[in-house]
Chain A
Amino acid sequence: MPELLHGSPALRIEQSAGTLKTTLRFIGTAMPTAHPAIDGPALPREMHRCGDGEPRAMRLGPGEWFVIGWPCPRADRLDGALFAVDVSDGLVCFEIRGALARSLLAAASSVDFAADVFVPGTAMRTRFARTSAIIECRGADHFVLYVDRSFSSYVAAWLALAAPRVAAAG
């Protein structure tokens, strides 16, 4: 069950373990001519783009995707050029919703969260409150934060501190 960290008219934050999470890495010296395909979600070609629904994949780096809601396949079921690792237990999710969601994110990360820049379908790994996080934009006012499990208590405390201030200041 998601745990409510903050709830105000313009900002709602919930923490949960989330669903299946897989890191998919390309093993090779150069991206192949044909885009790698898997038996699962389509892998976005464009950097920092994310698919929709589940399973969905987001491209975090030149040879790195992060896949949500997809059972990590065994190595022998993958193209030899891909390396999949189940990281479901290593990351915790924070869902952030509301008109002030972007303000809250911009309080912790130097990424440009403007509505016409960080549009739905954008995802990237970046610094968030001095830790590493993957931030996915699922809707105009809906974001998911994937945070290293060991930092989740710290990030939850940070969000609990900052959210009321953002809610008050706008």
Chain B
Amino acid sequence: MRRIAKGRWVDTSEPIPFEFDGRRLVGARGDTVASALLANGIRIVGRSFKRHRPRGIVAAGIEESNAYVRTQSGARVEANALATLAELVPGMRVSSLHAWPSAAWDIGAVADRFAAFMPAGFYYKTFLWPGWKLYEPAIRSASGLDRVPASTPASKPLSRYAHCDVLVVGGGPAGLSGALACAQAGLRVTLIEGRPAFGGWLRWTDGPQDTGAQRWIDDQLDALHSHPRVTLLPRTMAVGYYDHNLVAAIETFAPERRAGDHPDERLWQVRARQVILATGAVERPLVFPDNDRPGVMLASAAREYLNGYGVAVAKRAVFFTNNDSAYFAAADLKRAGVDVAAIADCRARPGAQARQIADEMSIEILPSSHVAAVHGRRGVRGAEIAGSGLPRKHIDCDALLVSGGYTPQVQLYAHCGGKLRFDATSASFVPDSHMLGCLTAGAINGHSRADAIAADALRAANEALARLGHGPARPPAPAPCASADPAVEAWWSVPGNSRKNHAWVDLHNDVTEADVELAVRENYSSVEHLKRYTTLGMGPDQGRTSNVNGLAILSQALGKPIAETGTTRFRPPLIGASLATLAVSAHGELHAPKRLLPAHDRHRELGAAFQDYSGWQRPAYYASGASPREAAIEAECLAVRRHVGFFDSSPLGKLEVRGPDAEELLTRIYANGVRSLKPGAVRYGVMLNENGYLLDDGVVARLAPEHFLVGPSSGAAPRVLAWLEEWLQCEWPHLRVAIVDVTSAWASFSIAGPAARGLLRDAGTDIALSATDFPHMAYREGMVVGARARVQRVSFSGELQFEISVPAGEACRVMDALMQAGRPAGLVPVGLDAWLRLRVDKGYLHLGTDTDGTTTPDDVGLAGMYAKKAEDFIGRRSLGRAALVAPGREQLVGLRVVDRGPALAVGACIVDDSVKGFPCEILGRVTSSGPGVAVGHPVALARLRDGRRRTGEVVSLLDGRGVRRAEVCGPVFYDAEGERLGA
């Protein structure tokens, strides 16, 4: 065990048993998986992405690039969990990735022997013709990250929208100070922090010496808790920053809370008037040969493991740095009993703070030096130190702790469009300017000293307060801790390094210094190209530790300053996010909102097989006994043709349009006119978009001189309502019209067939039903089986048909009564499949099936609707465009199958077979097809180039089963004279 001290965050009196790659280990309450592994002396936690080199833990937080593992506690499996953030729970089983049979002994390690064959652009160079598909599966299975097992139980995410005046992202010293300053002004403040506790880096500065940092954190939190309008959200990681100050964050609940109904994670979407990003900075590594050996770790991480978890990552450590901050870590480790062999500092003269610490702690400094080599394949055993004026020196050690300065966490700032600039002092990219609604504070701006951070937090808070109309805040008390000066000496790689293929820039993606230089030689010199060619900065790690080093080496290779090289574009999510959490409840039965018919339960009792049609769950057909689908549909069609059928047409849109200018509005909307429509009459019409293309069709009934009932096609009511409102509100606000969607308030039932009139009469109605009293295309109101009803004589089946609308609350009772009354006449329920086949016989258009987004009324034979209309309507002007009147447009026609075969397949291509051989020219496609139950032969509708001119021609079709033959004819196959529907 390497737990040598009493960590501030763990309770060693409560042992936590767990497994790693089958080994039984023991951690402590409060441990992360990473700290527990280190406490148990586990050095190899995984294998590298491409070369399968042994890898150890390098960091202690979000910046970890190696320790991605699978965790399993109970049935819950988390793939690609970051060991440095995953909280240890009793019985947890942890497995390494990229390794078989284990991380310690991995058969894939042989890949490292062939590293020369896996340079930058490996995938692009490998997946080439011929035969790349042969080896692609093997390569893909050997790379990539974890897979979620199929047996994993569904997660239980939750969502939450929130609003606040000021959202502070990051609970470190800057975030705490900024949040408190805003809270004191009485603002609604939300403070989110990704870790379980607030305090950020301050939490681990309290080491063997109590600096009072934790007391300062507690004081800030007490003060924040005293403000009722403050919301504190620990364990909540901001993952994306979107337009208009919307920040998405994922709250991960403590493991012990996740039992039963308790959610695992909660997706927060916070809309803030002002956002202060206090996301801090992460330490970055240095690039030198074999810098990926287990035991090479960030100095700040070693300090955090020691002070937070009581874990010493080494018995004898060597430090390598280009700044003063590593000296603070060295001092803490030495105080805890770790032998600090030396600090290799690439600066000729380390900073005053550094020298003072080294003097006080009797630590040897090796100025102007660097690490030239690391010994120990499975873990650091020693380091070779070289430098100007120094003899090459070997030092035995079991950890090499590095610090290359700090990289501000600017990703969220960049998500919302923030521009970056290169700051030479901290050798990193920092926010260039503040944007409307977004401010940055603290280490993200390149600050590292506690007093500078406090001042910067006050500045950001005051700016936010001013923007919200408040006066300045009181200066906060700076955190009482010593912290390093932010200055670093830019040091990007070992001069004259002959082993660049072993100097890792991006540990997460196995990208070396040699890879970056090769990419430049192969002309992938743009930073965005470099990223894609080498995979530098890709994956869940998002280049948190590798980005700046990679850019610096790129700029060296290009001979340009880093500022000119620029950065890649950061995109959400900031860290790996579970798709289940992002989807929240939108999966399974709740994947999309479903609309049910008012009499849904009755249809189910009748054996309806439901399908989704424009969001509505509608009966496709009714399974009667053992009859298969086709037989059921045919029986339903025959019932309508011979007797009577019952069809639930409730999804047909119902928009009430009323006002003195209602007629004017509809005249402008519909291609055909409505002015001549008398009260009590119904008319079929089409509406076009501005381009002259068909938008929707349906019937419109005039209920009164200033009152219309517009019937968009099934499922189209919301879209048509929005269309009407847009024109009314934006273009014609002077029209005195109001529109109300009453689609769901009414259930609609269609009774169709020769016996429809008798059925309705027998069921009971006070409406006169004779053909004279109630002709085709008429509208009546009255009572039907005791319910207030709106009845239209319209037909989509080609038969005598009454469409009866009753209040939705009466749907089941009315349906029962109609079914009962129709039983003697042979009434059967009819599903949508049969309904749509009936309309094919009749040649009725079904928008979206027989049309696409470029179909005009003339293409489907409806030009006559507006031929004599004098007034303008939407789309009219476009109908005259040359392209819409030119020959060669696809026109709707009928196809009569002449080869005695079955019905044509929808989508079958009509081809020009006058020229032999392939490819043949496609002249059109079948859009609808049916067996023509009452017609005597299969029928189809098709869109055919210059189709009407080809009437009488026999054309060839390819329908996937061979060549078919059909005669082009008019689209109406059944009751062309309309005697049946007009009966």
Task: Please say whether chains A and B are actual partners in one complex.
Answer: yes
By a CB distance below 8 angstroms, the chain B residues around A85 are 656, 740, 742, 745
Q: How far is the CA of A151 from the CA of B651 in the complex (A)?
A: 12
Residue of A nearest to B615 (CB): A150
Q: Is the CB of A130 within 8 A of B734?
A: no
Q: How far is the CB of B387 from chain A (nearest CB, A)?
A: 56
Is B745's CB under 8 angstroms from A89's CB? Answer: yes
* Of A33-41, A42-50, A51-59, A152-160, the one touching chain B: A152-160
* Contact between A157 and B590, CB atoms less than 8 A apart: yes
CA distance A17 to B738 in the complex (A): 26
In the bound complex, do residue A149 and residue B744 qualify as a contact, i.e. CB atoms below 8 Å apart?
yes
B658 at the interface (CB under 8 A from A): yes
| Inter-subunit contact A110/B271 (CB<8 Å) | yes
A169-B263 CB under 8 A given contacts A90-B744, A109-B161: yes
Are A166 and B158 CB-contacts (below 8 A) given A85-B656, A87-B740?
yes
Among candidates B263, B269, B616, residue contacting A165 with C-beta atoms closer than 8 Å: B263
CB < 8 Å: which of B707, B737, B740 contacts A23? Answer: B740
**A131-B593, A154-B593, A169-B266 given as contacts; is B158 within 8 A of A162 (CB)?**
yes
Q: Size class of B's contact patch?
A: 35 or more
Asked whether B853 is an interface residue with its Cβ less than 8 Å from the other chain, the reply is: no
The prevalent SS among residues of B at the interface is: mixed
Chain A residues closer than 8 Å to B532, beta-carbon distance? none
Q: Is A140 in the interface zone, CB < 8 Å from B?
A: no
User: For the complex, is B938 an interface residue (Cβ under 8 Å from A)?
Assistant: no
* A17→B745 CA distance, assembly (Å): 12
| Contact present for A130 and B742 (CB under 8 Å) | no
Out of A17, A26, A168, which one reaches B260, CB within 8 Å? A168
- In the complex the two chains form, is A150's CB within 8 Å of B269's CB? no
Q: Flag the segment in B331-339, B594-602, B821-829, B841-849 that touches A.
A: B594-602
Residues of A within 8 A of B260 (CB): 168
Residue of A91, A150, A162, A165 ringed by the most chain B CB atoms within 10 A: A150
In-complex Cβ contact of A90 among B160, B162, B808 (8 A): B808
In the bound complex, CA of A109 to CA of B163 (Å)? 12
Q: Least Cβ distance of B595 to chain A in Å?
A: 4
When C-beta atoms are compared, the residue in chain A nearest to B809 turns out to be A89
CB distance from B790 to the nearest CB of A (A): 12
Residue of A nearest to B703 (CB): A75
Q: Is A108 an interface residue (CB 8 A)?
A: yes
Question: Assuming the A-B contacts A85-B740, A86-B745, A165-B262, are A107 and B271 also in contact, with contact meaning beta carbons closer than 8 angstroms in the complex?
Answer: no
Most buried by A among B585, B616, B704: B585
The number of chain A residues with a CB under 8 A from chain B is 47
A25:B738 contact, CB within 8 angstroms: yes
User: B937 interface residue, CB < 8 Å from A?
Assistant: no
Does A19 reach chain B (CB closer than 8 Å)? no
| B161–A110 touching, CB < 8 Å | yes
Contacting pair B160 A103 (CB below 8 A): yes
A73 interfacial contact with B, CB 8 Å? no
Quick check: is A167 within 8 A (CB to CB) of the other chain? yes
Residues of A within 8 A of B746 (CB): 89-90
CB neighbours of B744 from chain A (8 A)? 89-91, 148-150
Q: Which of B188, B262, B808 contacts A149 (CB 8 A)?
A: B808
Contacts of A87 in B (CB 8 A): 740, 742, 745
Q: State how many angstroms separate the Cβ of B322 from the closest Cβ of chain A.
A: 45
> Which A residues are CB-close (under 8 A) to B949?
none
Q: A88-B809, A109-B161 are in contact. Are A130 and B262 (CB under 8 A)?
A: no
How distant is A51 from chain B, measured CB to nearest CB, in Å? 21
Is the Cβ of A165 less than 8 Å from the Cβ of B745? Answer: no
- A119 interface residue (CB < 8 Å to B): no
- Which residues of the partner chain A approach B266 to less than 8 Å between Cβ atoms? 169
Residues of chain A within 8 A of B659, CB atoms compared? 27, 83
Instruction: Give A140 to B736 CA distance when docked, in angstroms.
Output: 39
Q: Which residues of the other chain, A, contact B707 by a CB distance below 8 angstroms?
A: 75
Residues of A contacting B159 with CB < 8 Å?
107-108
Residue of B nearest to A153 (CB): B596
Annotate A9-31 by CB proximity to B: 1 below 8 A, 0 otherwise.
00000000100000101111100
A168 contacts across to B, CB distance below 8 A:
257, 260-263
CB of A114 within 8 Å of the partner chain: yes
- Nearest Cβ distance between residue A79 and chain B, in whole angstroms? 13
Q: What residues on B are CB-neighbors of A83 within 8 Å?
A: 656, 658-659, 738, 740
**Does B607 count as interface, using CB distance less than 8 angstroms?**
no
Residue of B nearest to A26 (CB): B738
- Indicate which residue in A114, A130, A153 contacts B163 across the interface (CB closer than 8 Å): A114
Complex Cα–Cα for A148 and B743 (A): 9
Cα distance A117–B492 in the bound complex, in angstroms? 53
Q: Answer whether residue B101 sits at the interface, using C-beta atoms and an 8 A cutoff.
A: no
Q: How far is the CA of A99 from the CA of B585 in the complex (A)?
A: 23
Mark each residue of chain A from 135 to 148: 1 if its CB lies under 8 Å from any CB of chain B, else 0.
Answer: 00000000000001
Contacting pair B738 A165 (CB below 8 A)? no
A71 at the interface (CB under 8 A from B): no
Output the least CB separation between B136 and chain A (Å). Answer: 38
A5 within 8 A of B: no
A150→B263 contact, CB < 8 A:
no
Min C-beta distance of B233 to chain A, whole Å: 12
Query: In whole angstroms, what is the CA distance A63 to B740 when docked?
Result: 12
Q: B809 near A17 (CB under 8 angstroms)?
A: yes
B253 at the interface (CB under 8 A from A): yes
Would you call B390 an interface residue if the criterion is a C-beta within 8 Å of the partner chain's C-beta atoms?
Answer: no
Given A83-B658, A85-B656, A89-B809, A106-B262 contact (CB < 8 Å) = no
B745 to A90, Cβ gap below 8 A? Answer: yes
The complex places the Cα of A103 from the Cα of B268 at a distance, in Å, of 12
Indicate whether B589 reaches chain A with its CB closer than 8 angstroms. yes
B-contacting residues, A96-137, CB 8 Å: 103, 106-112, 114, 117, 129-131
| Contact assessment for A161 and B595 in the assembled complex, using a CB-CB cutoff below 8 Å | no
**Those of B574-613 within 8 Å (CB) of chain A:** 585-586, 589-590, 592-598, 600
Interface centre among A86, A131, A169 (most CB of B within 10 A): A169
Are A151 and B585 closer than 8 Å at their CB atoms?
Answer: no
Q: Chain A residues with Cβ under 8 A from B810's Cβ?
A: 89
Query: Which residues on A sit within 8 Å (CB–CB) of B589?
Result: 157
Q: A27-B736, A87-B745 given as contacts; is B585 within 8 A of A169 (CB)?
A: no
Q: Which of B12-55 contact A (CB under 8 A)?
A: none
| With A90-B742, A165-B158, A169-B253: A158-B590 Cβ-Cβ less than 8 Å | yes
B263 touches A29 (CB 8 A): no
Instruction: Report if B76 contacts A (CB, 8 A).
Output: no
Contact B658 A162, beta carbon cutoff 8 Å: no
Bound-state CA distance A151–B593 (Å) is: 7
Find out whether the CB atom of A161 lies under 8 angstroms from the CB atom of B590. yes
Contact A151 B595 (CB under 8 A): yes
A104 to chain B, nearest CB (A): 10
* B733 within 8 Å of A (CB atoms): yes
Give bound CA distance, A22 to B158, whole Å: 34
Which residues on the B side are within 8 Å of A117 (C-beta)? 163
Q: Is the Cβ of A107 less than 8 Å from the Cβ of B740?
A: no
Select one of A149, A154, A164 contacting B590, CB under 8 A. Answer: A154
Residue B735 interfacial (CB < 8 Å): yes
How far does the alpha carbon of A43 sit from the alpha carbon of B430 in the complex, in Å?
Answer: 55
Q: Are A27 and B595 neighbours in the complex by a CB distance under 8 Å?
A: no
CB distance from B451 to the nearest CB of A (A): 36
> Which B734-757 residues have a C-beta within 8 angstroms of A?
734-740, 742-746
Interface residues of A (CB under 8 A from B): 17, 23, 25-29, 63, 75, 83, 85-91, 103, 106-112, 114, 117, 129-131, 148-154, 157-158, 161-162, 164-169
25 contacts between A and B (CB under 8 A): A27-B658, A28-B736, A83-B656, A83-B740, A87-B740, A88-B807, A89-B744, A89-B745, A89-B746, A89-B810, A90-B743, A90-B745, A91-B744, A107-B159, A109-B161, A129-B585, A148-B595, A149-B808, A150-B744, A151-B594, A154-B595, A165-B156, A165-B261, A166-B158, A169-B253
Other A-B pairs, 6, CB within 8 Å; known A29-B735, A83-B658, A153-B600? A25-B740, A75-B658, A85-B745, A89-B808, A106-B162, A150-B596
The 9 closest A-B pairs by CB, nearest first: A90-B745, A25-B738, A150-B595, A164-B261, A168-B262, A89-B808, A112-B163, A90-B744, A89-B807
